[in-house]
Amino acid sequence: MAFDIDMIKKVYANFPSRIDAARKVVGRPLTLSEKILYAHLWDGDPKKAFSRGTDYVDFAPDRVAMQDATAQMALLQFMQAGRPQVAVPSTVHCDHLITAKEGASIDLPHARTESAEVFDFLSSVSNKYGIGFWKPGAGIIHQVVLENYAFPGGMMIGTDSHTVNAGGLGMVAIGVGGADACDVMAGLPWELKFPKLIGVKLTGKLNGWTAAKDVILKVAGILTVKGGTGAIVEYFGDGAINLSCTGKGTICNMGAEIGATTSTFGYDESMERYLRATGRNEVADEANKIAAYLTGDSEVYADPENYFDQVIEINLDELEPYLNGPFTPDLATPVSQMKVEAEKNGWPLKVEWGLIGSCTNSSYEDLSRAASIANQAISKGLVTKAEFGINPGSEQVRYTADRDGYLKTFEDLNATIFTNACGPCIGMWDRTGAEKAEKNTIVHSFNRNFAKRADGNPNTFAFVASPEMVAAIAIAGDLGFNPLTDTLTNDKGEQIKLDPPTGDELPTKGFAVEDAGYQAPATDGSSVEVLVSPSSHRLQLLDPFTPWEGTDLKGLNLLIKAKGKCTTDHISMAGPWLKFRGHLDNISNNMLIGAVNYFNDKTDNVKNELTGEYGPVPATQRDYKAAGIGSIVVGDENYGEGSSREHAAMEPRHLGVRAVLVKSFARIHETNLKKQGMLGLTFADKDDYDKILEDDKIDILGLTEFAPDQPLTLVLHHADGTEESFQVNHSYNAQQIDWFKAGGALNIIRAEAAAKAAL
């Protein structure tokens, strides 16, 4: 079934004329990314060319997607926007609040009971405001979106950084915070700095053990975790056409790990095949009518250096499998070199767990290729040396894979089939023994491998690989195992070599499912009541943040000077904290507890300037808030890397932090800070980071003349009586400055809704 077909037809009806107009104003052929961006301008037909990396532009996304952990805060904000229904098609997907432990048959019922209050809230809010609701167990948001909602040439935003997965079906799909989603659902324009463009030309064809996952693992090694910041990555070439649609989705998915705004591929036959296989013939028929507009112009791909800001070329014929990690997804090591690298760096070679799934690699094709390795192991007398876990991407994938015997193959190899949910990928894994914090190695097909992310153990060395490579290494139990060259000993003492994986791009018998888990909203939700108990520990209605007081900020305490990598996982951990995503005050007790204090190299241990004692970051900040003292957080490069979670911005705002000053920001986090009325500042001279001392009192001057492109001044009052001052930069435009002054973008939306209601 094709959801929202009338909306898709409307987008396609306008597409050719808007692209033709864009070519005229830009004065040259267009990339696919530019076509989609210019076709989704808030003001309609393009009237001017935009400068990449400079101009802020208002867009009109076609739809919004939210997962259960982030949807809570997004919808709590939307409830204050004053609208009876969402303005664009929107969905909620319950995939984050399901702990993996025993297996789906036990874990899913437990989650339904444990998080019933949250699921009921999300179900009722969706029902009231016209939002499609996917129940717990229906699947992982990005796999469900790819199967049901993504369409070539569309623009979507989602409250999860891996929204970018939909680029596998030719979308510009971008991860955002809940406040951005709230804007779009409220019928307002969505603002984005016009992205730069990185072109990746793929030639050749994948073969042997190499998978689509290895393309993005290699790209991550080239660009690093911040190399794609502010850019769309567009893949093209014969190699791109040779990839499956879900393989394209895998590549786009992990574009979040290089900081890219999003990634995308042009419309081709693999996308048409996937649309038809997932019951969307009508979408494929409509896309075929304007197919030439749903990919980059031929001149662009013939001479890419003239159209992209950076071009990378990868020959798939020569690409080898990779293992990325540990502790960062851009540390790329060819499988053939892993044994040497592991021994050199002291990485544990014994593999304890192999995990397949997540939004990145949980498609039918992924499971079928991994199952081919598992089936070989069984037939050749091998057993897994590591424990083995599988998370199917959706109920449709799970049901079909079960029908076709793949799940039984995994179970015959003693694998645990977890729920169709995120599970270990986001830290929702109750792993036995993790509390011992022992040094160990796991391999998985997920996208991120930050310290503590999967199981809470800082000493778990996690490596990212393709599903088929995970299966092979789990069977070997050895991180240094290279299935291309190495052999294993079977139960008869024979040396066995695994054959390369095989699998089906799409099920030959077609997809099947009994109950996909979808709940349509009420036609008229005006009588639906949304209840939030005032005594709830899971949900809390929001109070507006206070507006700026109209003066410079003086006498701020330094809360923490974070050292090194500080992702949104460090700022607002997931795992067990996910249960508080709808309760801002309770979840604020995890604020910055994973950040490393520059002054003592400890986590969750900072000096309280009121007592002179060291203690937890949240408790220290609560003391400052109670005393009416503002504070500032200082950070390093690419601060806020990782998830889109706006809690990493809302928690400091809620507890009284006034500004975040860093060497550089990750895109989504900087936007989230702005939306919540926070000051997000960067050092004009990065060496000034070293000048900030633990006992400093800090002033931020120039706010009374706060204006775009005008630096502010930071004054440090050191404990010895000396002072230093230096410039700090910001990227606020006029509208974003209004958000700051109003105390957050939501306050402006609320005021506008109240004004309309008063008329």
Euclidean distance between CA atoms 35 and 490, whole angstroms: 55
Euclidean distance between CA atoms 356 and 470, whole angstroms: 7
| Catalytic residue (one of 448, 581, 647, 669) | 448
List Cβ neighbours of 582 (8 Å cut-off, separation of 6 or more). 72, 73, 76, 118, 121, 538, 539, 540
95 is catalytic: yes
Euclidean distance between CA atoms 704 and 84, whole angstroms: 38
448 is catalytic: yes
Q: Which two tokens stand for residue 30?
A: 């267009």
| Strand 614-615 with 606-607, pairing | antiparallel
Q: Angle at CA 383, nearest 5°, toward 380 and 384?
A: 130
List Cβ neighbours of 232 (8 Å cut-off, separation of 6 or more). 33, 172, 195, 196, 197, 198, 260, 261, 262, 263, 264
Consecutive H or E run containing 560: strand 553-561
112 is catalytic: no
Q: Report the DSSP beta bridge partners of residue 190.
A: 59
570 is catalytic: no
Euclidean distance between CA atoms 392 and 363, whole angstroms: 7
For the beta sheet containing 351-356, the strands, ordered from the edge strand earlier in sequence to the opposite edge, are: 332-334, 322-324, 460-464, 440-444, 351-356, 387-390, 416-417
Q: Report the DSSP beta bridge partners of residue 679.
A: 659
Read off the amino acid at residue 681. L
Euclidean distance between CA atoms 169 and 246, whole angstroms: 8
Q: Report the DSSP beta bridge partners of residue 683.
A: 728
* Nearest CA among 11, 20, 16 for reference residue 290: 16
720 is catalytic: no
| Catalytic residue (one of 645, 658, 667, 730) | 645
The three-class DSSP label of residue 195 is coil
Euclidean distance between CA atoms 634 and 663, whole angstroms: 9
Euclidean distance between CA atoms 499 and 484, whole angstroms: 8
Alpha helices in 698-744, H assignment, sequence order = 734-742
| Catalytic residue (one of 96, 142, 570, 654) | 96
* Nearest CA among 532, 528, 582, 540 for reference residue 130: 528
Alpha helices in 627-680, H assignment, sequence order = 647-655, 667-675
Q: Which two tokens stand for residue 665?
A: 């920001």
Q: Which 8-state DSSP code applies to residue 131?
A: -
DSSP string, 306-361: GT-SEEEEEETTT---EEE-SSSTT-EEEHHHHHHHHHHHT---BEEEEEE-TTTS
Q: Which two tokens stand for residue 436?
A: 């011992």
Euclidean distance between CA atoms 407 and 416, whole angstroms: 9
| Catalytic residue (one of 107, 160, 268, 297) | 160
Q: Which two tokens stand for residue 62?
A: 């076609």
Task: Say if residues 153 and 267 touch (Cβ distance below 8 Å).
Answer: yes
| Catalytic residue (one of 4, 62, 68, 95) | 95
Tell me the backbone φ, ψ of residue 609, rounded to 5 degrees: -70, -15
C-alpha separations of 388 from 99, 352, 416 in Å: 16, 9, 6
Q: How far apart are the first and last CA of the chain?
A: 42
Euclidean distance between CA atoms 178 and 196, whole angstroms: 24
96 is catalytic: yes
| Catalytic residue (one of 643, 653, 664, 667) | 643
- How many beta carbons lie within 10 A of that of residue 458, not counting itself? 12
Consecutive H or E run containing 215: helix 212-223
The three-class DSSP label of residue 684 is coil
Q: Which two tokens stand for residue 618?
A: 């949240």
Euclidean distance between CA atoms 572 and 675, whole angstroms: 17
Task: Say if residues 163 and 91 touch (Cβ distance below 8 Å).
Answer: no
Tokens 């990396």, residue? Answer: 53
Catalytic positions are: 95-96, 160, 448, 643, 645
